[in-house]
Structures are given as structure tokens and as C-alpha cells.
Amino acid sequence: MSVFRDKAMVSRLTNLLLGSLLVLLPLTSMAQTGVGTAAAAGAGTTQSTGPRSLLPPGLGETAAPTPDRAAGEGTSGGILIRQLDAPGEAAAGLLIASSGGLGSDLWRGSQAGVVHDLYGRMPFVSQSPAARDLARRLLLSVGTPPAGSDGAALLGQRMTHLVTMGEAESAVALAEAAASGEPNDPAFSRPLVDALLLNGDVSRACDLVAVQVRGGSRDFWQRASVFCDLQAGRRPDAELTRASLNETGRSNALCDELADAVADEIAVALDDASALGPLELAMFRQAPKATLRAVGAPAPAIAARLATLPRLTMPQRLDAGEIANRAGTLPTAAVSLILGASDAELSAGPFRQAAIGVANASGIAARAEALLALWDAALLQGDAPLSAAMAAPAPANMIPSADIGFLAPVAFRMHLLNGDRDLALGWLELLRRRATAGEGDAIRAQIAALPLAQVSGLDPVNDRRLGNWRSANPDGAAADRQWRQILLLMDAVGSPVSESLWTNALQATDDTDAAVARAADPALWRQLVLASGSGRKGETAQAALALIGSVGPGALDPATLATVVGSLRRAGMAATAQRLAVEALIETETARPGKAESGLPAGD
């Protein structure tokens, strides 16, 4: 039974808070990590004057007088903007080195064509929290671009990645920081319009659409202008554009259906949301009688918005929320609110029920038991990072204690997956105390946690203790593969083990043919090695992200994984390298048969 009683009141409150979270949490994150820092290092601060126009004076608005400040500087929503000369717009960013950026020299030594190509190879979404964090820092970093770069195209690639990975607010802030005067360049304008539409800023999006249409842009821009004309009450103009699109065979059936729903407020039931893009989602939002029969498989950035749309049923919002949360496009706090809603329990699914149990658990002991159930469900689904993200608020507010010592192995791993090293250490120390006291289950769990503790740097390198892990896991091809992965990752994070442990690995059976790891693209692998060896930091991050792909580091073969981790460490991204290694180790240990017998935590 949910702890919430007044269903109507809770539903209204949940919807209000969810709407606020989608707007405020990305901005809060920006403030905490330094987003909102000057587009160029060394700038001062000024009073915010509201959203900055993304059009040059004379296009859709009148230039407003600005207060006295250093030449070329302005503000937008608390973000200091410095007008930069070309190629300054491509150099702009929201993170400097001291606030999480990769450094202003991240592209030193890189060739423009290679940088553009690697952006094209990077995944737009990833199931790896560490990879998502690295991608966000890369895309938002202040940095002088390679000579010969197409500024608008490079900026557009960065914004497109941000929009697709659920960072629409950051994409708009990046555009404002760049202070681009190129609204006629579709490479810049298209991702910006997408971001504005996702944010619900239809007015500013339509200003940019009008510029493109006046400049002769067609297809998407004409379809967008139909929506904008309808929103502005210019129905004859909208119908004229629709007629032109139909006559030339460039109409879009989904946009036509949604345009009718907006114009006439007729009921429309879409089969699912799989085909919705930012424009179609904006039209769906504005059509009061538009509904979905099912969620389907929308893009994660779209799913994040659907999860907070009150018009959808709770099961549909939960479907969308799981898609978004798996790709990191929905804030954890928003997921918790959805799961805590009074009618969420009506939704089926063992993994979902476990997450709902965490959200609604009352009392420390009950919450600990619910977290174990969620972890068990995640192991069955093969998605430990998702369970850690969905559970994040619960273990973060729990103090390690003997009363809930049984939670230590799981809480330790959840915090590592979420990048909370200090919190993970607290649970690891509790596990050590229980093991020292002679508790059998704690001794086994501590041995199982040894590789994670040493790869993450929470435990000093200790060959004897690693040897204990090997002694507890001596047989079988899966154990042999895991052992080789552990030793490779110890090398990669800069904590190599002794030759005696490698000798043991050489004696193990080679089971390469049975491995199911994804082989690396040779061209990407080579580019990673070259970039890392030459100190090209941005390029190293790009190639590493491209190799990791959308699935995560656990899908890589051990040698490629070690190359990725080692390259990032040598390029100055040691913390990211450790997080990726931890993710891969946890995926490997949770995939092994007989994991409970080897000390892996389970809820039973």
C-alpha cells in the first residue's frame, strides 16, 4: 500500500513538481558543476537580464540597450556571455577546467576533419552513467577548436548531441554562450529549435523557424512553420503551407494529423510515440485531445518529457520514465516522484514493482529490504546501473550501520555506479568491520568486493588480497575471463599487480571463442591510441566514447576496455576511467553463473 493517502492532491503535487524539476534540475546541475561559467575563462559576473535573444537585431525583434559592462559581454539566465570573434563561437562553452571542463586546450594538435568525424561516431545516448558524464563535460567544455573548423557546424554537432542525450537546457545555454550571429545556418538552427521546443519555449523556437523559412529553407522548416502559424492564430498561412507541402509530395502524415488536432482540437490517438521528434512532441502537447495507445520506443529525450505529461496514464508515464532513466535523460528526483505517485502501484512488472517499493518504503529496515529486492530485479534484467540510478535518493540518505549491515555489499556497488565514492567507502568500511568480526556472509562479500575496491582506488593495491579473490573463484571459463579483466583493469587505472598474479592468468584456459564481448572497430581503436599518445585530450574522449558505444563498457572485450580506461587515465581523466572500469567489473560479476555462491550480494 502506498504511503500516500490523498490521491488527487498527490497527483496534482507530483505533476507540478515534475514540471519544475525538468526545468530546474539541469540548471541546478549546471550551477553545481560550473555550468554557467564564463564562455571564456577569466570573465567576471553580472546581473542576469533574462533569456538572450538568439536572433541578431532586426530579425524578429528590436535590439535592446544593454547596461555598461566589458565590451562583448552579456548575461542570460545567470550565464555570462562573451561575444567572441570567429572561430570563437565554436570555442564557447559552459565548463572551464576548474569546474569540470576538459581544459581550453582540449583540441590542441587535433585536425578539424577528425574532430567532426569523431563527433559523428559518438553515440547520442549511452546506458553508462560514466560515459554520459564524460560526454556532457566534453560537449560543454570551453576550448579553442582545431584550425579550419566550421564554427557553426561544430557548434551544431555539440548541440545535437546535448539535445539527444536529454540536455536541451544546456544546448540552449551553449547557443547563448556562443552568441552566434548565424541563425540562417541550419547546422546551428536545427538543434537549437529542437532544444527550444523540448523546453516548451515555442515562441523563441518559432522566431528561428520564421528566419529559416524567409531564407528559403523547406521540408522540416515548413512543417514547423505550420505549427507556429497555428499557434499564432494564422490558420490561413498554415493551410497555404500545408497545401504546398502536399502538392510537392513533402508532407508528413504524422505532422498533418497533429496539425489537425491542434487546429480543430479533435481527438487523435497515436499508436505509440516512436515517431515523435521535438516538433511532433510540441504539437502533441498543444493538441488537447491527443493521446497515445502505447508508449512504444521513443527517443530517450522524448521519453523524458512524456514521463512528466499528466495527460498520459500512469503506466505510460512509467514506461516512458524507464526508457528515459536508462539513458540518463530524466533526473533521478523526477523518477522518484513518478514511482512515489499513489497510482504507480497499478503498473505491472517485477523490476518496476521493486523500484516502486523503494520509493514507497517506510522506515530504514524496510527501505534496505526494498533496495535488495530492486538489486535482485536488476540482476535478472541485467541492468545494475539502472537500478542504482532509480534507487539513488534512498541509499544516499541512509547511514551505514550494523542494523542494516546486510545492505552493505549492494549499497557499496550502487554508490560506485552513481559516482559517489565517499558514500561507497562508508559501506565498504562497514563490510570490513563485519568481516573482521567473523561474520561468514560478510567475509565472502568482502572478498567479492576486493576487485571493485582496488580498481576504484578505495583500497590500496594488495596482491595477497586479490589472490584471495582468485582462490574463492578458481574454476571455470567465466571466472578465468573475469580474472584477466581484473588484472588488465588494474594495469589500466595505474595500479599494476605483481607478475606472479599474471603468471596465474597465463595458466588459465584461453576461452576467447566463448567470449561474447563486442570487438573494437580497428580505426577507432587506432585513433584512440594515437590521440592519447599525443596528448590530444578532446579527441581521446571522443574516440573512447565512440568505442564504448550506447551499451556501455561492459560490452567491450577486455583488451579494448583496458585501452579505453588507460587512455583516459593518461589523458588526465582518471576519475572517469575508474568509473568505467567499475561499471564493467560490476556487469561482469553480475553476469557470472553462480554469483551468489562466490559472494556477490543478493537479496536472499
SS3 per-residue string spanning 131-166 = HHHHHHHHHHECCCCCCCCCHHHHHHHHHHHHHHCC
Residue 417, Cβ density class (10 Å: 0-12 exposed, 13-18 middle, ≥19 buried) = buried
Share of the chain above pLDDT 70, in %: 77
184-202 per-position pLDDT tens digit: 677 889 999 999 999 999 9
Contacts of 276 (CB under 8 A, 6+ apart): 254, 270, 284, 298, 299, 302
491-543 per-position pLDDT tens digit: 999 999 988 888 877 776 655 544 456 678 899 999 999 999 999 999 999 99
DSSP three-state, residue 74: strand
The cell for 231 is 499557434
The cell for 433 is 568491520
What is the 8-class DSSP label of residue 509? P
300-316 per-position pLDDT tens digit: 999 999 998 989 988 89
CB-CB neighbours of 596 under 10 Å? 14
Least confident of 40-54, 117-131, 142-156, 170-184: 40-54
Q: Does residue 62 surpass a pLDDT of 60? A: no
Banded model confidence at residue 277, pLDDT cuts 50, 70, 90: very high
> Are 265 and 289 within 8 A, CB to CB?
yes
Contacts of 389 (CB under 8 A, 6+ apart): 129, 325, 328, 332, 335, 417, 418
Kindly report the pTM of this predicted structure.
0.82
Containing 448, the helix (H) or strand (E) segment is helix 440-455
425-442 per-position pLDDT tens digit: 999 999 999 999 999 899
> Are 582 and 417 within 8 A, CB to CB?
yes
Q: What is the pLDDT of residue 344?
A: 65
Contacts of 56 (CB under 8 A, 6+ apart): 181, 183
Banded model confidence at residue 479, pLDDT cuts 50, 70, 90: confident
> Which of these, 409, 359, 508, lies nearest to 3 by C-alpha position?
359
- CA 195, CA 201: separation in Å to the nearest integer? 9
